[in-house]
Amino acid sequence: MGLEPLGTDFSALVQALSATHQQLQAQAARSVDTALVLRNWLFGWHLVEFENASARRQEVYGKNLVDKLSAALSSQGIKGVSPTNLRLCRSFYESFQKIQQTPSVESSATAPQPPDLNALKAQLGLGWSHYVVLLSVSNVQARSFYEVEAQQASWGVRELKRQIASGLFERLALSRSKNEVMALAQVGQVLAKPADVIKNPYVLEFLDLPEHPTYSEHQLELAIIDKLEHFLLELGKGFLFEARQKRFTFDDNHFYVDLVFYNRLLRCYVVIDLKIGQLTHQDLGQMQMYVNYFDRHVKTADEAPTVGILLCYDKNDALVELTLPQNSNIYAAQYQLYLPSKEELRQKIQEAEKAWEAAQ
C-alpha cells in the first residue's frame, strides 16, 4: 500500500511547528537577556561588597581591581567582562539598589549574602540594553519614571531613547504639582483626570517639518496622519485614533474638527485643533463649541466629558486663563518641531520649582 499524498494538512503542520519554534526561540532570547540583567546586577553587587569590605582591599587593589578581575574572568572563557563592562555592572548595581535584603538570622559577622534571584528578577523587568540606556539618565526621579513607563508600555530601546531625548519626564513635570512629580517617579504616568494627558510642550520632531511655521495647518495635519503611530506615542497612554476633519453641522453651517481621538483610560473623546500662528480668543471659543457638540451629541451618558486640546505654535497663558472658565476641559498646549535641549528643560524645571515654592 502506498503512502497517502501530503496535502493541506501537512502545510498546516509545518506552519504549526514553525510558529512553535519562533515562539520558543523568542522566549529563549528573552530568558537569555533576563539572565544577563541578573548576572550584571550581581556582578555589580559583588564588586561593591568586595570594595567596601575593608580599607585594606582598596589599598591592595586600588584602581587596578577591575582590570585584574577582567583578566581573570576572561582567562576562564567568560564573555562580556571587559573592564568597561565591569564598571558598567558596578554603575548598574549602584543606580538600581532596589532589592531589600532579608535580615539575616545568623550572626552580624556573617558575610552579606546576595538577594534571592526570584526577588531580583521580579524587580528588574527590562532588558540589558534598556538598562544601559537608563544609566545615561542622571536624575534619579526621571530614571525611575522611565524604567516604570518602559515596563508598563513595553517600550523598545528605540522608543525609550526617543522619550528620554524628548524630555518626557520634564515635560510632564511642568504641568504637575511637586507631589504629582514625585508620584510620576514612583508609579509612572497615571491618567486620573483630563489634565494628566497634557504635556508642555508636545515634541513633534518626527514630522520632519521646518522649525519656523512656513507650512500650513493642513500640511501639519497631513504630516501627523502620515506619522500617526509616532504621534500616538507622543500623546501618551490610552489614545485611539478616530477621525480627521470630523464634520458636524449646526444651523446649516458645517464645522470640521482637525483630529479626533478617544482615550480608553479616561473613557472620553479628545478633540485636537491645530494652530500654526498666535492663539486667539476666537480659537478658544471655537474649541469650546467643539467640546460642547461632542458632549451633547456624540458621547454617551456613561462616558466622561470631552477634552479639547488646542495644539499651537505659540500661546499666551494670560489670554487662555482670561478666556476659559475655571475647571474647563479645554487646554492650550504648545508644540515644537525639534528635540528640546537639556539646558532648556532644566531652566523650565527650575521655573516650575520656584512656582511650587511660592505656592507653599
State in Å, rounded, how far the first CA of the chain is from the last one.
92
Q: Are residues 222 and 186 in the same domain?
A: no
Question: Rounded distance, CA 257 to CA 274, Å?
Answer: 9
Domain-embedded: residue 142 = yes
Which of the two residues, 176 and 335, has the higher pLDDT score? 335
- pLDDT tens by residue, 106-150: 444 456 777 788 888 888 989 999 999 999 998 888 999 999 999
Give 268's pLDDT tier (boundaries 50, 70, 90). Answer: very high
For residue 264, the one-letter residue type is R
- What DSSP string runs through 277-306? EE--HHHHHHHHHHHHHHHHHTS-TTSPPP
Tell me if the bond preceding 201 is cis, omega within 30° of 0.
yes
Question: Rounded distance, CA 341 to CA 134, Å?
Answer: 18
Task: Kindly give the residue spans of alpha helices, DSSP state H, lying in the chain.
Answer: 8-53, 55-61, 65-74, 83-95, 117-123, 128-134, 140-152, 157-165, 168-173, 178-187, 217-226, 228-235, 281-297, 317-323, 342-359
Q: Is the pLDDT of residue 290 over 70?
A: yes
Q: Are residues 208 and 249 in the same domain?
A: yes
- pLDDT tens by residue, 210-242: 776 578 888 899 999 999 999 998 998 899 999
Q: Is the pLDDT of residue 2 over 70?
A: no
Q: Is the pLDDT of residue 105 over 50?
A: no
Q: Are residues 224 and 300 in the same domain?
A: yes
Q: Are residues 145 and 157 in the same domain?
A: yes
CATH number at residue 294: 3.40.1350.10
Q: Is the pLDDT of residue 258 over 90?
A: yes
Q: Are residues 272 and 329 in the same domain?
A: yes
| Residue-level pLDDT at 103 | 46
- Number of domain units in the chain: 3
- pLDDT tens by residue, 3-53: 445 455 756 756 776 776 677 677 677 788 888 888 889 888 888 888 777
Domain-embedded: residue 210 = yes
**Cα–Cα–Cα angle for 89, 95, 97, nearest 5°?**
95
Domain-embedded: residue 3 = no
Domain-embedded: residue 115 = no
| Residue-level pLDDT at 55 | 57
| Residue-level pLDDT at 311 | 92
Domain that holds residue 238: 202-339
Domain-terminating residue out of 71, 94, 117: 94
3-state secondary structure of 215: coil
Q: Are residues 73 and 188 in the same domain?
A: no
Give 101's pLDDT tier (boundaries 50, 70, 90). Answer: low
Q: Are residues 52 and 82 in the same domain?
A: yes
Domain-embedded: residue 124 = no
- pLDDT tens by residue, 151-205: 998 899 999 999 998 888 888 887 777 677 778 878 888 788 888 888 878 888 8
| Residue-level pLDDT at 80 | 85
Torsion of CA 31, 32, 34, 39, to 10 degrees: 140
Show the cell assigned to 292.
460642547
| Residue-level pLDDT at 128 | 93
3-state secondary structure of 1: coil
Domain-embedded: residue 183 = yes
| Residue-level pLDDT at 65 | 81
| Residue-level pLDDT at 327 | 81
Q: Are residues 53 and 151 in the same domain?
A: no
Q: Are residues 217 and 318 in the same domain?
A: yes
Q: Are residues 167 and 211 in the same domain?
A: no
Report the predicted TM-score, pTM, of the whole model to 2 decimal places: 0.72
Domain-embedded: residue 120 = no
Give 61's pLDDT tier (boundaries 50, 70, 90). Answer: low
Q: Are 39 and 81 in contact (CB under 8 A)?
A: no
| Residue-level pLDDT at 226 | 92
Counting every residue, how long is the chain? Answer: 360
For residue 97, the one-letter residue type is Q
Contact partners, residue 351, CB within 8 Å, separation at least 6 = none
Tell me the pairing of strands 239-250 and 253-263: antiparallel
Q: Are residues 164 and 226 in the same domain?
A: no
Domain-terminating residue out of 94, 110, 139: 94
Question: Rounded distance, CA 292 to CA 279, Å?
Answer: 20
Q: Is the pLDDT of residue 356 over 70?
A: no
Domain-embedded: residue 55 = yes
Give 358's pLDDT tier (boundaries 50, 70, 90). Answer: low
Q: Are residues 206 and 335 in the same domain?
A: yes
